[in-house]
Amino acid sequence: MIKEYFVRDPLLFITFTLLVLATVIQLAYYWIIYAKLAFLKQKNEFLRSDQPVSIIVCARDEYYNLKENLPLLLNQDYSKFEVVVVNHGSEDETHFLLRDLAEEYKNLKIVTVQQDLNFFSGKKFPLSIGIKSASYELLLFTDADCIPRSNQWLRRMAANFTEGTDIVLGYSAYHKTNSFLNLLIRFDTTRIAMNYMGFAQWGMPYMGVGRNMAYRKSLFYSQNGFISHYNVQAGDDDLFINKAATKTNTRIEIMADAQTISSPKTMLNQWLRQKRRHLVTAALYKPAHKTILGIFAFTQVLYWASAVCLLVFWFMPYFVLGLIALRLFSQLLITGKVMNKLSEKGFLLLVPFFELFLMVISPVLALANMVNKPVKRR
């Protein structure tokens, strides 16, 4: 039968062979890498940690976010910690708010940075100053617009610093709203977490998200801080982790009360600009990381293109539909389990459509970056 199909139309048969190859590779990613996160059994009991921690937050004109969110950081259920807020050239009332809060909370440390140095851009210079000013070895990072899901966030993250662990990667969700864009953003956030947490569990950590991650101060200094990518405006989180993380020094934390939540973009153009900035740093990952991520992206395009082509010509339709069903089942099963672990709901059945949208839009954004690099607004 196979010979008959080849004789009838060798070009379509080659396309079918490519579909089989792409499907097998895609299934390998889902069942070997992403399943590491989907079926992870993380213990729920509280692990006691008496290691002091410095929480670091960089803020520029974040008066309202700090007023709402900073007390949630300062009131974490933990024996010894400080919150270091780097006030980075704010022109609003941030200074006065921090001054008042410092009178109430003795564990609040304020660091003021009036201007950037010429050779640092974006968040890296103030973040470096915050790290240098931190009193403790363990550093936990988040943003001014983020809130922890519970007062156990700090305890959960710190408990992962066992012997040999230098980096802890957490999950940062977005608030749920009743909009299609919100569903897309939350899917993209889940998809990114599937990648960086799944690969970390597989033994190849390659990035982290600065809204919820931690590492040792000594690691920062041993890696010479952000010097290797100082000329890139973004990347204080993912590029640093890409350089410093190894299969033995990195752990992940996925429990719900160890997560943070932040406000998502509300306009599509704002989110697309954010995606463009992320693509800039992804291009600077280690070659091995870019290769393995690129293989998934390439075979994803190959899978969809060959499947659509074969269905249009109705070539070996039952085999093609069987491969589509197998991948779709694996995708929804694994993604659904990851969503459940990350407390994400409401978009599972939209996953294939969101996948197609991102698959189409990502090359467009990459091309836009080649023409005109995105600039982070003040």
Distance CA 150, CA 155 (A): 10
- The verdict on residue 97 lying in a domain is yes
Residue 240 lies in a domain: yes
Say if residue 92 is in the same domain as residue 190. Answer: yes
Confirm whether 317 is domain-assigned.
yes
> What does the pLDDT look like over 178-202, one tens digit per residue?
899 999 999 999 999 999 999 999 9
Whether 316 is covered by a domain: the verdict is: yes
Query: 300 and 260: one domain?
Result: no
Residue 28's pLDDT is 98
33 plus 95 within the same structural domain: no
Is residue 305 located within the same domain as residue 192?
no
- Residue 132 and residue 70 in one domain: yes
Mark whether 246 and 364 lie in a shared domain.
no
Instruction: Give the list of residues 6+ apart from residue 112 with CB closer than 8 angstroms, or none.
Output: 86, 87, 95
Give 39-80 pLDDT, tens digit per residue: 998 766 555 667 999 999 999 999 999 999 999 999 999 999
**In-domain check, residue 261:** yes
With respect to residue 279, please indicate whether it lies within any of the assigned structural domains: no
Tell me the residue range of the domain where 297 lies: 2-39+288-371
- Asked, for residue 281, whether it belongs to a domain, the answer is no
Residues 244, 130 share a domain: yes
* pLDDT the model gives residue 121: 60
Residues of the chain with pLDDT under 70: 1-8, 43-49, 115-121, 373-378
Number of structural domains the chain divides into: 2
Mark whether 159 and 306 lie in a shared domain.
no
Q: What is the pTM of this model?
A: 0.92
Residues 236 and 298 placed together within one structural domain of the fold = no
185 and 85 within one domain? yes
Q: Are residues 77 and 224 in the same domain?
A: yes
Task: Kindly state whether residues 100 and 231 are assigned to the same domain.
Answer: yes
DSSP secondary structure letters along 53-100? EEEEEEESS-HHHHHHHHHHHHT-S-SSEEEEEEEES--SSHHHHHHH
47: in domain: no
Per-residue pLDDT at 194? 97
